[in-house]
A and B are shown apart, each in its own frame.
Chain A
Amino acid sequence: MFLSYLQKNFFWFTLVLLTIFATGASYVKFVSIHDYTIYDEIECDPYTASCFLYCEDEECTEPFYYAEIIRQANNYVAYCGSTDYFDCDASYGCMEEESECEVTFCESSPESECYSFSDINSNQN
């Protein structure tokens, strides 16, 4: 009886099973083992490096100079865990022993505007 019911509702059973699988797999990947990449914009000192600039308004009254960091989420969770973002060193750059972590500073190209004040003669490369 159950088999005939299963046969009759094969589509719905399969759909429910696949949805449960997708939910479980997503939970494991993103919540349990943090097997994904995270992107962040970390503070960048334009006097020592070439930085990207983010402005809230057109006048750029509060400029935010930043570099891009791409790392594995599980590493970041291991370092910072439940610690507040701003209280954790790993939030400001790659840790020495951290694998698969890369900070990208701005490189001058026709598409991007980079900011570096290390060269006294110009504030924009």
Chain B
Amino acid sequence: MLCYLYEAPKYLFFAQDLPDLLYYSHIPSAIVALLIGFIVFFKSPKALLNRLLLLISLTFTSWVALSLLVWAGNNATLFAFIWPFFGILAALLSVFCIYFTYVFVRKQDVSASIKGIFLLMLLPVLLFSHTDIGVSGFNISYCDAFMFEGMLIKNYYNALGFIAMSWILVILIRAYRKAESEMKTQILLMGIGIEFFLLSFISVIYIVTQLTALGYFENSSLEFYALFGMTFFMMMMGVLIVRFNTFNIAAHASQGLVISLLVLVGSQFTFTTTVTSTILTSVTLLLTTIAGLIIVRSVKREIRQREEIEQLAVKLKKANVRLKELDQMKSEFVSIASHQLRSPLTSIRGYASMLLEGSYGKLSEKANSAVERISESSTYMASSIEDYLNVSRIEAGNMKYELTDFNLRDEAEHVADDKRQEAMKKGLLVTFKSDMDKHGIVNADIGKTRQILHNLINNSIKYTPRGTITIFAHDDKKKKKMYVDIIDSGIGMKADELDDIFGKFERAHNANETNVTGTGLGLFVARKMAREMKGEVTAHSDGVGHGSTFRLELPLHM
């Protein structure tokens, strides 16, 4: 059965005397939808979000194809068969848009119960669209079925569209409130796109077809404007892809967008009637092509650079992990080696001490001097090994701290007394002073605190060729802190070295000038230990040649 007033179409979709806007509204929007849909899909066919976008594109394109077929053709039987699918496809689009929004914001599939709701929503349309409730007849004079559309089904699937818009709005608002800044922009762009698409597609088609059925319009050609909503939605998707790499296809998407733009401009040829407009459209197409090529190349270059940076970051991360592993291995090696060295060293020191004490008979002056050298060197070596062991314990997190209450002022004075003899050998004067408001009780590991003070005073003795070393204990009851300052008249240092000297194996730049030996670990160990006890070790100097002050700071135990 044919619509006898209409001519048969050429190639299904092409006929004479059709509204100007028909092809311009239908073909580009379908091509743009398919292009973006397939590009996104083929990038990652298993990703649900990509599948849903393709599904929306295919559903929309099916609607467009059927619409073109009906507008251009004259086969009444075929169109009567097709007519129920306008409602079915509109309902599917509404549901797929909700589904897509859910997956977009949650990055996961929806629950079975929500899918059940989707099915329930679609059930009436799928079951009754083909019955008399949906479409009961066909007008072969006008070649449409507007006057036979059942209002119940028509209102139902249009209501689904408005329900979808409201549902999507709720999902987006909730997600927007929880999202971080970059995701907020993505939600905003996607939301505007999908809501505009649904609003234009559902409401414009509904209003136009209703008014056509009531006889206010001769035909429903105004519904063409509804289709531009899809182009807008896909443009928003394109912006998301290019700006945020949402589907990880920025390069392809920029090509897709440019092709879409060219299709849009090229579509204007379908209704150009004058030579001037044809020339203008050709020039626009040419300029768009050139600009498009530049954009695609620029986007590709930018993406390549970004990928290179990302690859470098990954390599750097791997290298960093490897370095940490090597550092750990080194610490383990030092620990093992130090333990192996300590035992024979203890024997050397013990026998040297016994020789000096005369346990094996009186030694000649020369032999005594040699044994003294052995004793001093082995003592220095034992001290170095202790430093290495401490570093390896600190780095392995094996250093144990037994916190007790003790008087730091008294401990500082004892250590000063201990070190005075050693300093005097070098011609240095060690004095102790204190200015205390409180008793100076701190809660810390007494052994580790002594070691810190030893390390700091040793450091001062090493780097003070002549003059004095003052140990000054004082407190600040407002800050609830106890301080022990080791003030020397040594070689001093530059301001930019004050923090560096606490690094592992670090020594002051002018240390070599003083001809002293050292591992460069004493200050590192001291600071690490102090920090573990909620304290701090800092250094101050007025410059090279002006001496230094090292301060141990521990919280007062009130």
Do the beta carbons of A38 and B81 come within 8 Å of each other? no
Contact of A11 among B85, B118, B123 (CB under 8 A): B118
B 48-98 contacts with A by CB, 8 A? 76-78, 80-81, 83-85, 88
Nearest-CB distance from A109 to chain B (Å)? 15
A 3-43 contacts with B by CB, 8 A? 10-11, 14-15, 18-19, 21-23, 25-27, 29-31, 34, 36-41
Do the beta carbons of A10 and B115 come within 8 Å of each other? yes
Do the beta carbons of B88 and A37 come within 8 Å of each other? no
Indicate whether B140 reaches chain A with its CB closer than 8 angstroms: yes
- What is the total number of residues of chain B having a CB less than 8 Å from a CB of chain A? 34
Nearest-CB distance from A96 to chain B (Å)? 21
Do the beta carbons of A22 and B88 come within 8 Å of each other? yes
Interfacial chain A residues near B126, Cβ < 8 Å = 18-19, 21-22
Q: How far is the CA of A37 from the CA of B147 in the complex (A)?
A: 11
Contact of A77 among B1, B127, B137 (CB under 8 A): B1
Contact of B88 among A14, A19, A41, A86 (CB under 8 A): A19
Do the beta carbons of B1 and A36 come within 8 Å of each other? no
Nearest-CB distance from A88 to chain B (Å)? 10
Interfacial chain B residues near A15, Cβ < 8 Å = 119, 122
Q: What is the chain A residue whose CB lies nearest that of B123?
A: A18
- A-B contacts at CB below 8 angstroms, number: 86
Interfacial chain A residues near B38, Cβ < 8 Å = none
Indicate whether A76 reaches chain B with its CB closer than 8 angstroms: yes
Per DSSP, are chain A's interface residues mostly helix, strand or loop, or mixed? Answer: helix
Chain A interface bracket (under 10, 10 to 19, 20 to 34, 35 or more): 20 to 34
Q: What is the chain A residue whose CB lies nearest that of B77?
A: A31
Do the beta carbons of A26 and B85 come within 8 Å of each other? yes
Pick from B39-47, B128-136, B181-189 the stretch touching chain A.
B128-136
Do the beta carbons of A26 and B76 come within 8 Å of each other? no
Interfacial chain A residues near B80, Cβ < 8 Å = 30, 36, 73
Nearest-CB distance from B368 to chain A (Å)? 90
**Given known contacts A11-B119, A30-B77, A38-B76, A18 and B127 CB-to-CB distance under 8 angstroms:** yes
Do the beta carbons of B4 and A36 come within 8 Å of each other? no
Q: What is the chain B residue whose CB lies nearest that of A9?
A: B115
Interfacial chain B residues near A86, Cβ < 8 Å = 4
Q: How far is the CA of A38 from the CA of B1 in the complex (A)?
A: 10
Interfacial chain A residues near B116, Cβ < 8 Å = 11
Nearest-CB distance from A28 to chain B (Å)? 8
Indicate whether A85 reaches chain B with its CB closer than 8 angstroms: yes
Binding site for B on A (CB under 8 A): 10-11, 14-15, 18-19, 21-23, 25-27, 29-31, 34, 36-41, 70, 73, 76-77, 80, 85-86, 91
Q: List 9 A-B contacts (CB under 8 A).
A: A11-B119, A18-B127, A22-B84, A22-B126, A27-B81, A30-B81, A30-B83, A34-B77, A73-B138
Kindly list 9 other residue pairs between chains A and B, CB separation below 8 angstroms, not including A14-B119, A26-B129. A10-B112, A19-B88, A26-B85, A30-B80, A30-B130, A36-B136, A38-B1, A39-B141, A70-B137
In the complex, the 8 A-B pairs of residues with the closest C-beta atoms, listed nearest first = A37-B137, A26-B130, A85-B4, A11-B115, A30-B81, A18-B126, A30-B80, A41-B141
